[in-house]
Structure 1
Amino acid sequence: MPTAKAPSHAKRPEVGSQPMSSMWTQMFPPKPTYTEEQVPDLSGKVYIVTGASSGVGKETATILYSKNAKVYMAVRPGTKASIAMASIQAAVPKSLGTLAILPLDLADLNAVKKAAEEFVSLENSLHGLINNAGVQALEDTNGEARTAQGYEVHIGVNVLAPFLFTRLLRGVLAATARQEHAGVVRIVWVSSIGTETIGENERGLSADYLDYWPLMSPLERYGLSKAGNWLHGVECAKRYASGGILSFPINPGHLRSDLYRQGGSLFKLALRPVLFPPRYGAYVELFAALSPTLSIKDSGAWIVPWGRLYPIRNDLVDATRSEAEGGNGHASAFWEWSEEQVKAFL
């Protein structure tokens, strides 16, 4: 396949400035305050963790299962998934919970729809959806990787697929929220510090990405896609609030995870001194999904390592506000654009 080319009118986006203090505290955070020790018994609760066959997702699934939850590992089926499930069960032999594989391929929106339909056919409750899975195609320097629907892989897999999955599960999430105490049912959108380091000025990510992405490196494309997760997490908090569903975009931290599996050995060696074990990322996910200190008033807030509310980059705040509120309304507009992209699968 030939190298992808940007149209003549495309240009690299302007990027806002992240304060050094913000970058520093997210790269070298204080000790976690919400760990497996604080997670309560989760008997009777049902959770989906995407990308649970390795890394942070596997750690999160392990802790939820250890607390007797019913955990669906939403992953591509195969040997890796089966081995991961057996590994979790062996690590927590006394769990009274249930572990199951939910086949999910985020590179195909048809498969995403099928996975959501399968879950709804099996369960009438969902207490937490953790959109953890993602791809970082560092070797795709020529821009050849595409989803089944033809999208560049980062925006297709990391942005549109979890958006569709969440939309299709809204009904069961809302039904569960009606039966539970306020704040129990939550959606976690795993973003990254890339939202702040590379996100478009005052927008984070926009439809313009479809034109300018060939001008960006694979690492930049990944960071921009994570800004899309942040936008969805913020806007979801507004749109789903009336149904009692909380939504949190998070930066899980700089972690030793399979996201870097396509990076070269020198790249991995350079990163290793500043990377933390995957379990620390799980603590951030669990804080967002379970911490009793969070309530509806916090929904949509930016959560950073290892489980703290923290201000997002100043210019990005404009995207979260409507024009009537003094913002630019971009988060809402990006949600509507995303709806248009996936409407054939709703």
Structure 2
Amino acid sequence: MSANWTAADIPDQSGRVAIVTGSNSGLGFDTAAVLAGKGAHVVVAVRNLDKGNEAVARIKKASPDAQLSLQQLDLTSLENIRKAADNLRTNHPRIDLLINNAGVMYVPTREATKDGFEMQFGTNHLGHFALTGLLLDNLLGVDGSRVVTISSVGHRIIAAIHFDDLNWERSYNRVKAYGQSKLANLMFTYELQRRLKAKGAPTVALAAHPGFSDTELMRHLPGFIPDGLWKIVAQPAEKGALPTLRAATDPAAQGGQYYGPDGIGEVKGNPKVVASSAQSHDEAIQRRLWTVSEELTGVNYPL
């Protein structure tokens, strides 16, 4: 491995099946494109099939031999998640990689998923919690399988798990709500890894964050941050995808690790193992969040 890890360091992925949520654009697209180019069979799991087909065509243009399939997936609907999971379990008995990438950020006013959850918590955390649980059996049968969930430096910004009002029905704050969802992503990863390890499973759970990357998510940044400013600071999406790709493919990566950029403030740079907040490692809160997530989604893990 080179000192500054890049996509060139990814080993051959032939024979592996990778599901990437939200892979029609941004970080998810670049993650899917690189994995497909390295030989993996990539499932492009997206809400909008037209955009998904466009993404598949773009990847095929760059990598004509890429193995790709498309799966409609709406993380704002538990019914749709169950339907998608049924299809994925049937079509892909072997799942090597599940990359929980899709997400929403800083939704200006409170919106709810189809099941009534606050949009950021419901999509970023509960949707992926449900999907992972429903697909886990197909991962558990595969040596070296991994679940990689995308968090954010936002997990540190006035973030906490508000068990008294998880859905922000009393007083919505988009920054706090986003922080809660990204903190939940990390807590889910750490608790999942602990449970997998206790079971002696061949599957491991890791997390990653892209730093400050130029993607569609940035469209909801607070208005006092000028477009020109964040574009100067941000790195391109293909660079922001590298922490995810390293967590997913580096043979030296271990369960429970968290990858992010190595630059100042983890804003940009090459991917490395980074630390998360002390709060994210609170096992009591992790266990409580897990229990609540199972209750809210109706998905119980075989762990």
Report the TM-score, using the length of structure 2 for normalisation. Answer: 0.89
Task: Deviation per CA, 1:252-278: give whole Å up to 9, x if none.
Answer: 211001112345776433321211101
- The Cα of 1:150 is off from its aligned counterpart by 0.7
Whether 1:165 and 2:106 are equivalent positions in the alignment is: no
- Residue 171 (structure 2) aligns with: 215
Structure possessing the higher radius of gyration over alpha carbons: 1
Task: Deviation per CA, 1:215-258: give whole Å up to 9, x if none.
Answer: 34323311221111011011110112221211112222110011
Task: Deviation per CA, 1:254-313: give whole Å up to 9, x if none.
Answer: 100111234577643332121110111211001101111223xxx212222132222222
- Residue 238 (structure 2) aligns with: 279
Whether 1:58 and 2:29 are equivalent positions in the alignment is: yes
- The Cα of 1:332 is off from its aligned counterpart by 1.3
2 CA distance for matches of 1:196 and 1:264?
17
Residue identity matched to 2:52: A
Q: Aligned in 2, Cα 1:138/1:148: closer, same or farther, shift over 3 Å?
A: closer
Question: What SS class does the counterpart of residue 151 from structure 1 fall into?
Answer: coil
Mark the runs of 5 or more structure 1 residues left unpaired by the alignment.
Answer: 1-30, 178-183, 321-328
Q: Aligned in 2, Cα 1:209/1:32: closer, same or farther, shift over 3 Å?
A: farther
Q: Aligned in 2, Cα 1:75/1:316: closer, same or farther, shift over 3 Å?
A: closer
Question: What SS class does the counterpart of residue 243 from structure 1 fall into?
Answer: coil
- Residue 259 (structure 1) aligns with: 217
- The Cα of 1:212 is off from its aligned counterpart by 4.8
Question: What SS class does the counterpart of residue 98 from structure 2 fall into?
Answer: strand
Task: Deviation per CA, 1:302-332: give whole Å up to 9, x if none.
Answer: 2221322222223443x13xxxxxxxx1111
Residue identity matched to 2:260: V
Residue identity matched to 1:133: A
2 CA distance for matches of 1:213 and 1:231?
23
Q: Aligned in 2, Cα 1:51/1:267: closer, same or farther, shift over 3 Å?
A: farther
Whether 1:342 and 2:300 are equivalent positions in the alignment is: no
Q: Which has the higher contact order (CA 8 A, sep 6+)?
A: 1
Whether 1:310 and 2:265 are equivalent positions in the alignment is: no
**% identity of equivalent residues:** 30
- Residue 191 (structure 1) aligns with: 151
Are the counterparts in 1 of residues 142 and 203 from structure 2 also a CA contact under 8 Å?
no
Are the counterparts in 2 of residues 302 and 311 from structure 1 also a CA contact under 8 Å?
yes
Q: Aligned in 2, Cα 1:47/1:32: closer, same or farther, shift over 3 Å?
A: farther
| Aligned pairs for 1:73-84 within 5 A | 73-84=44-55
Task: Deviation per CA, 1:83-126: give whole Å up to 9, x if none.
Answer: 11101111122x3x311111100110111111111011111111
- Residue 131 (structure 1) aligns with: 100
Question: What SS class does the counterpart of residue 76 from structure 2 fall into?
Answer: coil
Residue identity matched to 1:196: R
2 CA distance for matches of 1:345 and 1:330?
18
Q: Aligned in 2, Cα 1:231/1:315: closer, same or farther, shift over 3 Å?
A: closer
2 CA distance for matches of 1:211 and 1:92?
42
Are the counterparts in 2 of residues 34 and 291 from structure 1 also a CA contact under 8 Å?
no
Q: Aligned in 2, Cα 1:214/1:58: closer, same or farther, shift over 3 Å?
A: farther
Are the counterparts in 1 of residues 130 and 299 from structure 2 also a CA contact under 8 Å?
no
| Aligned pairs for 1:206-245 within 5 A | 206-210=162-166, 212=168, 214-241=170-197, 242-245=200-203
Question: What SS class does the counterpart of residue 41 from structure 1 fall into?
Answer: coil
Are the counterparts in 2 of residues 256 and 278 from structure 1 also a CA contact under 8 Å?
yes
Q: Aligned in 2, Cα 1:246/1:35: closer, same or farther, shift over 3 Å?
A: same
- Residue 38 (structure 1) aligns with: 9
1 CA distance for matches of 2:273 and 2:185?
17
Q: Aligned in 2, Cα 1:269/1:307: closer, same or farther, shift over 3 Å?
A: same
